[in-house]
Amino acid sequence: MTHQFIADLKDGLEIKQYFLVRQVEERLTQNGKPYLNLVLADRSGFLKAKVWSNVLRDFPGPFRVGDYVGTVGQVGSYQGELQLTVQEIYTLQEIKQRKELINQEPENFDVSLLHATTEYDLEQMWRELLIIVDEVLTPPLQDLVLNLLHRHAEVWQLHPAARRNHHAYLGGLLEHTWFVTRLAFQTAGLYPAINRQLVVAGAILHDLGKIKELAKPYAPEYTVPGQLLGHIVLGWEMIRQEAAAINFPDQNLLLQLEHIIITHHGQRDFGSPVVPKTREAMVVYFADDLDSKLKIMEQHLKADNSAGNFTPYLRLLQRELYKITLEPEDQVQAEEFNEE
């Protein structure tokens, strides 16, 4: 059966195909029967799934984050969201073992259909970040940022920026860093009193800790340090360690950079131990917040296949989204403006 992408699924559709397991949660019904809450994925998005106790009895797994699973089930709607009621579920390993008995490979399994990746060119984004560092920063900030970029280049270009909410795909961390850095750089240029070097350094390094917070980039899970400390503290620690290694000469400048890192979530309720208290920290916070929210909106709009002018309610942003599209003439004008 041809793979049907999650973004194209509709209520009532029966499916038989492979997915990547992104989340697994064991639960009990009110009657005390075990069932699984799963989040399945392909390269187009995420799909919640239920494996009820009667199915779990026949297909006990275990199922783990990062597994490829073959599923049979029916798509339904619950509280405005599509979800899959699983009727059969097998790990890819189980399917391979069965196929080995008759000397066949698993049918229709294509890993490229299951891993979401950034739509942007990784080499171009990385190259543009290095150009910004070269043209905007001077020592000692330049040395600090370049050391961290080069030390973590491979994983930085592979990692997602989150488990689920935004840029949660391979290359997502680099894409998010690229956007936030350019947004912050352009914004800082409008205000002469703002230190553009601090803004650029803070924007590039603001999510550095995600590298240690998340494991399994293709199906991200929190590491133990990620759970106990979080990426803000982990990133702050990585910067302090690198600064000590190069004998960073300006402790006040380093303190201001650290302030940007620990305040980039903007509010204590969102994980920052203190709120932004410098203009540079405020710029990075808003650039980060803007790019995150615009990506969430983009993903929600792409995944929507409902009728009408507005999407279903988006709980993350607590609103429906208007499905406006550019007219051809407006699209041409927008492209011409961007070229200028």
Q: What is the spatial distance between Cα 219 and Cα 65, in angstroms, rounded to a whole number?
A: 7
Asked, for residue 10, whether it belongs to a domain, the answer is: yes
Per-residue model confidence (pLDDT) at position 116: 87
Asked, for residue 309, whether it belongs to a domain, the answer is: no
Mean pLDDT within 55-71? 91
The answer to whether residues 134 and 248 belong to one domain is yes
Tokens of 311: 């999407």
The answer to whether residues 130 and 189 belong to one domain is yes
The answer to whether residues 80 and 182 belong to one domain is no
Residues 32/17, Cβ–Cβ less than 8 Å? no
Asked, for residue 317, whether it belongs to a domain, the answer is: no
The answer to whether residues 12 and 42 belong to one domain is yes
Residues in the chain: 340
* Count of domains observed in the chain: 2
User: Positive or negative, the Cα torsion across 111, 115, 121, 126?
Assistant: negative
The answer to whether residues 283 and 176 belong to one domain is yes
Residues 316/296, Cβ–Cβ less than 8 Å? yes
Mean pLDDT within 316-336? 71
Tokens of 283: 């710029």
The answer to whether residues 137 and 284 belong to one domain is yes
The answer to whether residues 92 and 167 belong to one domain is no
Give the residue from 114, 119, 107, 118 showing the smallest Cα distance to 47.
114
Per-residue model confidence (pLDDT) at position 219: 81
The answer to whether residues 160 and 140 belong to one domain is yes
Residue that is last in its domain, among 57, 87, 113: 113
Q: What is the spatial distance between Cα 328 and Cα 340, in angstroms, rounded to a whole number?
A: 19
Per-residue model confidence (pLDDT) at position 77: 87
Tens-place pLDDT, residues 204-258: 999 999 999 999 888 888 999 999 999 999 999 999 999 999 999 999 999 999 9
For the cut 60, the answer to whether the pLDDT of residue 5 exceeds it is yes
20 three-state secondary structure: strand
**192 preceded by a cis bond (ω within 30 of 0):** no
For the cut 50, the answer to whether the pLDDT of residue 169 exceeds it is yes
HEC sequence for 26-76: EEECCCCCEEEEEEEEECCEEEEEEECHHHHHHCCCCCCCCCEEEEEEEEE
DSSP letter (8 states) at residue 109? -
DSSP H or E run through 111: none
Q: What is the spatial distance between Cα 45 and Cα 40, in angstroms, rounded to a whole number?
A: 9
Residue that is last in its domain, among 113, 134, 166: 113
Residue that is last in its domain, among 73, 94, 113: 113
Q: Which residues does residue 18 pair with via DSSP β-bridges, in sequence order?
A: 70
DSSP H or E run through 78: strand 68-78
145 vs 41, more confident: 145
Asked, for residue 323, whether it belongs to a domain, the answer is: no
The answer to whether residues 163 and 289 belong to one domain is yes
Split at pLDDT 50, 70, 90, the class of 130 is: very high
Domain that holds residue 103: 6-113
CATH code, domain with 102: 2.40.50.140
CB-based burial, 254-283: b 16+ in 10 Å, e otherwise: bebbbbbbbbbbbeeeeebeeebebebbbb
Asked, for residue 199, whether it belongs to a domain, the answer is: yes
Asked, for residue 46, whether it belongs to a domain, the answer is: yes
Asked, for residue 304, whether it belongs to a domain, the answer is: no
Q: Which residue has the tokens 């002469």?
A: 192
Mean pLDDT within 88-111? 76
Asked, for residue 318, whether it belongs to a domain, the answer is: no
265 three-state secondary structure: coil
Amino acid letter, 72: V
The answer to whether residues 199 and 246 belong to one domain is yes
Mean pLDDT, all residues of the chain: 90
pTM above 0.95, yes or no: no
Chain centre distance of CA 82 = 20
Split at pLDDT 50, 70, 90, the class of 2 is: confident
Tens-place pLDDT, residues 33-48: 999 999 999 988 889 9
The answer to whether residues 90 and 164 belong to one domain is no
122 three-state secondary structure: helix
Tens-place pLDDT, residues 172-181: 999 999 999 9
Split at pLDDT 50, 70, 90, the class of 102 is: very low
CATH code, domain with 182: 1.10.3210
Longest Cα–Cα distance of the chain, Å, equals 72
DSSP letter (8 states) at residue 311? P
259 vs 7, more confident: 259
185 three-state secondary structure: helix
DSSP letter (8 states) at residue 106? P
Mean pLDDT within 15-37? 92
The answer to whether residues 30 and 101 belong to one domain is yes
Q: What is the spatial distance between Cα 236 and Cα 306, in angstroms, rounded to a whole number?
A: 43
